[in-house]
Amino acid sequence: MQLKLELRDRVDALFKLLHKLSSLKSRNNPFGEGTYSLESGFGIDPSSTKGFLYKLITRILSKSDVPGLEYHSSAVGRLFKSGFGRFGLGQAKPSLADQNVILVFVIGGINCVEVREVQEAVSESGMPDMELLLGGTTLLTPSDMLELLLGQYSYI
**Which residues, 6+ apart, have CB-to-CB distance to 149 below 8 Å?**
14, 156
Higher pLDDT among residues 129 and 104, named by residue: 104
How much of the chain is helix, strand and coil, in % rounded to 5? 50, 10, 40
Helix 142-150 to helix 2-26 angle (10° resolution) is: 100
Number of H helices, E strands in the chain: 5, 4
Per-residue confidence (pLDDT) for residue 35, from 0 to 100: 45
- The answer to pTM > 0.95 is no
Q: What is the pLDDT of residues 14-63, one digit of tens each?
A: 888 878 777 765 665 555 554 444 444 444 555 558 888 999 999 999 88
Q: Is the pLDDT of residue 109 over 70?
A: yes
93 secondary structure, DSSP code: P
Residue ranges per structural domain of the chain: 46-150
Per-residue confidence (pLDDT) for residue 49, from 0 to 100: 81
110-111 and 139-140 strand pairing:
parallel
Per-residue confidence (pLDDT) for residue 38, from 0 to 100: 45
**DSSP for 10-44, written as a single string:** HHHHHHHHHHHHHHHHHSS-TTSSGGG-S-S-SSS
Given a contact cutoff of 8 angstroms between Cβ atoms, the answer to whether 42 and 52 are in contact is no
Closest Cα to residue 10, out of 130, 146, 155?
A: 155
